Amino acid sequence: MIMKAKLYSVTGEQKGEVELPKVFSAKINLSLIKKAVEAAQSSARQPYGADPLAGKRSSAHYHGKRHYRFTMMNREMSRQPRIHGKVGHLGFTARVAPHAVKGRKAHPPKAEKIWEKKLNKKEEFAALRSALSASVVPDMMKARGHKFHSPIVFESAFEALDKTSKVKSALEVLLKEEMKRCSVKKVRAGTGKTRGRKYRRKKGPVVLLPSNSPLVRFGRNIPGFDFVAVDNITVEHLAPGTQPGRLLVTTEGALSALEKW
């Protein structure tokens, strides 16, 4: 099946149509896309855990042994680590045990836990092809909340823009509603706003560019837009939050690089 997209000039005029590479006709596998995004997110997760000695720094020890001076046998008291000479039940205060005051946690988070999920290279590339294919499906773009429902291809002159203001002006002609949608920054509801993620912003289009394009730098300050070179594109760029169908903006040069895929 031959797929085509509209070709636009830097001023927003339609100049015709271009044929999309075969990669945009790949089979869409939602479960594989989700698996790839979760694997990418897991590798960025920072391990954390409690101090291994937390709650254990105590002289308390077990008094339940037989033939022991301070034995707890036949005294109708729970046999758990206790401190000598502290006021408590029968003169001994419990420590260390998870249910005791100042005791350790039963199952604390452990710093040695491995969060990273591994993914085969072939699986990752298949997920990338699948996510690219989903980025030209109008229904999936609507499900993500985009206002524009077809991929946009700019002529090669778009790559020659050398200022953020010029890039913004070129995009604003066709994607004014998308820019308006991404400009809104809201305060997150709930406890997350105290944990380094106070604000929320909508994800706009991803702009796919040829390798070593300086435009990647000029597009950094446009809210909601991600400018990425073909060599650095990931499944997470095309399917943020594991949901595919992100609006794709690209150039003729980037499409020719995708021919090898």
State the pLDDT at residue 100: 93
Question: What is the gyration radius of the CA atoms in the chain, in angstroms?
Answer: 29
State the pLDDT at residue 89: 54
Are 148 and 247 a contacting pair, CB within 8 Å?
yes
The DSSP bridge pattern shows strands 185-187 and 199-201 to be: antiparallel
State the pLDDT at residue 13: 93
Contacts of 240 (CB under 8 A, 6+ apart): 37, 203, 246
d(CA 159, CA 113): 45
Tokens of 101: 């005051």
State the pLDDT at residue 261: 85
State the pLDDT at residue 88: 54
| This prediction's pTM | 0.84
Residue 65: how many CB atoms within 10 A of its CB?
Answer: 13
State the pLDDT at residue 91: 62
Measured on CA atoms in the order 75, 76, 79, 85, is the torsion positive or negative? negative
List the chain domain ranges: 4-26+137-189+197-260
Average pLDDT by consecutive 10-residue portion of the chain (261 residues)? 84 92 95 97 93 94 82 84 68 88 95 95 96 95 94 93 93 94 95 94 95 90 95 96 96 92 85
Tokens of 12: 């927003």
User: pLDDT tens-digit profile of 250-260?
Assistant: 999 999 999 98
Alpha helix stretches (DSSP H) within 150-208: 164-174, 176-183
State the pLDDT at residue 237: 96
User: pLDDT tens-digit profile of 11-65?
Assistant: 999 999 999 999 999 999 999 999 999 999 999 999 999 999 999 999 898 888 8
d(CA 91, CA 220): 67
State the pLDDT at residue 209: 95
- The hierarchical CATH code for the domain 4-26+137-189+197-260 is 3.40.1370.10
Tokens of 135: 């980025």
